[in-house]
Amino acid sequence: MYSSSRLLCFLGLASVAVAQSTKQAGYNPRVGPSNANCTRQSYQLEITSNNTVFQNVDSNANTTYITKLLQTFVSLPTNFSQEYEQPTKQLLSRNYSISGTLCTPLNGQVKNTSHVQYLIHGIGFDSSYWDFAVNDTDEYSYVSAAAAAGYTTFRYDRLGTGLSDHPNDTYNVVQASTDLAIATKLLDMLKQGEIGGQQFDKVIGIGHSYGSVQIQALSATVPHLLDAVLLQGFSTNATGISPFLTSAAYATATEVFPDRFNQSGLPSTYLTTLAPQTQQLNFWFFPYYSDAAFDHNRKTEQPVTQGVLFTFTQTGLIQTATSFTGPVHVVTGVEDWIFCFSNCYSVPANSTYNSIPEYVQELYPVTSNFSVYIPENTGHAVNAHHSAPQVYQEMLAFVSNVFGT
Ligand SMILES: *[C@@H]1O[C@H](CO)[C@@H](O)[C@H](O)[C@H]1NC(C)=O
Ligand SMILES: *[C@@H]1O[C@H](CO)[C@@H](O)[C@H](O)[C@H]1NC(C)=O
Ligand SMILES: *[C@@H]1O[C@H](CO)[C@@H](O)[C@H](O)[C@H]1NC(C)=O
Ligand SMILES: *[C@@H]1O[C@H](CO)[C@@H](O)[C@H](O)[C@H]1NC(C)=O
Ligand SMILES: *[C@@H]1O[C@H](CO)[C@@H](O)[C@H](O)[C@H]1NC(C)=O
Ligand SMILES: *[C@@H]1O[C@H](CO)[C@@H](O)[C@H](O)[C@H]1NC(C)=O
Ligand SMILES: *[C@@H]1O[C@H](CO)[C@@H](O)[C@H](O)[C@H]1NC(C)=O
Ligand SMILES: *[C@@H]1O[C@H](CO)[C@@H](O)[C@H](O)[C@H]1NC(C)=O
Ligand SMILES: *[C@@H]1O[C@H](CO)[C@@H](O)[C@H](O)[C@H]1NC(C)=O
Ligand SMILES: *[C@@H]1O[C@H](CO)[C@@H](O)[C@H](O)[C@H]1NC(C)=O
Ligand SMILES: *[C@@H]1O[C@H](CO)[C@@H](O)[C@H](O)[C@H]1NC(C)=O
Ligand SMILES: *[C@@H]1O[C@H](CO)[C@@H](O)[C@H](O)[C@H]1NC(C)=O
């Protein structure tokens, strides 16, 4: 692993803000696995997005108020919109610092320098989801598995996680529309040669959970920028979403993890799962993971804003990709609580599909090849279960098919 932190200092790119958020987030400083040449950098992005405008909200609200909002959102969506959202969205322009990491296979193993996998993580993680370094080993690292197969990856910390900015407005700024605009910008930069000094002409978008929601939206809104998509921990079945929002018991991150998150640095509406139990319920399927993997996740768990929780399911994000012709692959653990409510085969008796993830093909009327893989003994946090190394081989078979090498 070639850490770029020293290099960045020479280039003057490592800013004070980054140093502070390192302390604040209890961030895992590992840049990448031993078989990849990884460069981490902060990208200053000017982003314009059409955002939901919230009202009667407060980024520093107390626990009672945070819970009251959630209660209304889940049980009375119409009342929620009337009381807390303005009827029309508004354009918002801001600069954000986003930390991204490009990893190329070491020792000339790269199959084609102009091919890249674009990885977007979900809620509760930062980009280290893709380099899930339990006890600092590479066993659960997708970046490592990809590098071993000769493929380059680019991953970044979503706004409000890891080493990226943590804006203080957790409703109007840190929300799904902003996230999608950032995802679009970085994808465009990969294509334009503005990341790693390399113009990537083939890109596979790979997401996990909320990251898959964004990759799916990209395949509909900028289909020409993606050659294929792989949606991990994803489906179009919303049955498990409300159980997720309530049972995770999202609570103020600085109170749940006072040692990791700086009270005066992070508003109260940056949230994490309240307890190991509420984390387990939503992300894990016992006993098919190690205690070390669970501990590692708990120690590096990242916050989500209430604004993201209230917007990631909004209309217009997941949408029919009417002109996306590339292949689509869905990889969802059979016991995924959030996207299958613990059984991906529980389709209606009269269904024409065998599993819940198969319904995703309805979003892709002109895809060249739609396929689904449902790993057994796997919950929502796919990359953290025992099955991960095997799942990666399956994912990389899809990747290899697309890149044609
Ligand atoms: C690692 O990547 C950097 C930046 O692209 C490059 O300058 C360096 O030569 C690479 N090192 C190795 C060992 O491949
Ligand atoms: C929490 O905030 C709400 C709204 O500002 C307020 O009505 C309530 O009294 C506060 N509760 C506590 C315990 O501070
Ligand atoms: C929800 O909105 C309806 C219609 O505006 C209103 O009658 C009702 O009291 C509201 N419910 C709550 C719990 O605020
Ligand atoms: C922003 O969204 C609103 C709908 O809420 C729409 O009326 C408006 O045209 C959009 N603005 C832009 C620039 O897309
Ligand atoms: C973003 O930063 C650039 C360079 O500092 C500045 O010119 C621009 O006005 C900023 N944009 C916004 C929306 O703040
Ligand atoms: C890399 O892939 C591109 C197409 O994406 C192709 O044109 C090029 O020939 C490939 N390069 C090598 C060295 O195989
Ligand atoms: C929030 O951050 C903005 C800059 O992004 C700053 O102008 C503003 O003063 C901050 N507000 C609070 C309450 O800290
Ligand atoms: C906590 O955040 C405040 C405000 O951003 C900052 O002044 C302080 O240095 C931070 N403390 C630590 C221990 O990082
Ligand atoms: C992995 O780390 C955990 C603590 O997180 C420790 O209890 C365990 O012994 C370690 N396992 C190995 C194989 O090093
Ligand atoms: C959606 O998921 C629920 C819970 O697993 C299941 O009962 C239902 O049949 C699914 N609906 C479809 C259309 O697959
Ligand atoms: C399957 O049955 C449900 C009611 O259980 C019905 O709403 C739906 O239209 C049926 N779908 C098909 C394809 O027949
Ligand atoms: C379609 O996808 C499946 C699963 O990824 C793969 O086995 C098959 O070869 C693909 N077919 C074509 C024509 O690419």
Cα 198 to middle of ligand 6, angstroms: 13
CA of 256 to the centre of ligand 7 (A): 24
**Closest atom of ligand 9 to CA, residue 295:** 5
Task: Tell me the C-alpha to C-alpha distance, in Å, between residue 213 and each of 29, 54, 232, 311, 318.
Answer: 27, 22, 10, 11, 6
- What pLDDT does 201 receive? 97
Nearest ligand 11 atom to the CA of 352 is: 13
Q: What is the pLDDT of residue 216?
A: 98
Nearest bound ligand to the CA of residue 265:
8
Nearest atom (ligand 4) to Cα of 90? 1
Whether 113 is in the pocket of ligand 6, judged by its Cβ within 6 Å, is: no
Whose CA is closest to 162, among 231, 233, 100? 100
Tell whether 28 is covered by a domain.
Answer: no
Nearest ligand to the CA atom of 84 = 3
Residue nearest to ligand 9 atom 12, measured at CA:
135
Tell how far the Cα of 114 is from the centroid of ligand 6, in angstroms: 7
On whether residue 25 sits in a domain, the answer given is no
CA distance 256 to 273: 8
Query: pLDDT per residue over 192-204, tens digit each?
Result: 999 999 999 999 9
Take atom 14 of ligand 6 and give the residue whose Cα is closest.
Answer: 112
Task: Give domain status of residue 23, yes or no.
Answer: no
Query: What was the pLDDT predicted at 108?
Result: 78
Closest CA to ligand 9's atom 4:
292
**Distance of CA 32 from the midpoint of ligand 10 (Å):** 38
Per the structure, the count of domains in the chain is 1
- Is the CB of 86 inside a 6 Å radius of any atom of ligand 3? no
Residue 91 in contact with ligand 5 by CB distance below 6 A: no
CA of 113, closest atom in ligand 6: 1
In a domain, 7, yes or no: no
d(CA 158, CA 329): 23
Residue 301 inside a domain? The answer is: yes
Pocket of ligand 7 (CB under 6 A): 167-168
Domain assignment present for residue 31? The answer is no
Range of the domain at 126: 36-403
Atom of ligand 12 nearest to the CA of 397: 5
Whether residue 129 contacts residue 383, with contact meaning beta carbons closer than 8 Å, is answered with yes
Given this model, what pLDDT does residue 8 score? 30
Distance CA 145, CA 138 (A): 8
- According to the model, what pLDDT value does residue 339 have? 98
CATH of residue 384's domain is 3.40.50.1820
Question: Which among 394, 401, 403 is the best mutation to test ligand 12's pocket, defined by most ligand atoms within 8 Å of the CB?
Answer: 401
Closest ligand 2 atom number to CA of residue 64: 1
**Model pLDDT, residue 265:** 85
The 10s digit of each residue's pLDDT in 258-282 is 999 988 889 999 999 999 999 999 9
Q: Is 2 a member of any domain?
A: no
The pTM of the full predicted model, rounded to 2 decimals, is 0.93
Low-confidence residues of the chain, pLDDT below 50? 1-25
Query: How far away, in angstroms, is 292 Cα from ligand 9 center?
Result: 6
In a domain, 30, yes or no: no
Query: Judging by beta carbons within 10 Å of its beta carbon (0-12, 13-18, 19+), is residue 293 exposed, middle or buried?
Result: buried
Does ligand 12 lie within 6 Å of residue 361's CB atom? no
**Burial letters 38-60, b for 16+ CB under 10 A, else e:** bbbbbbebebebebbebeebebe
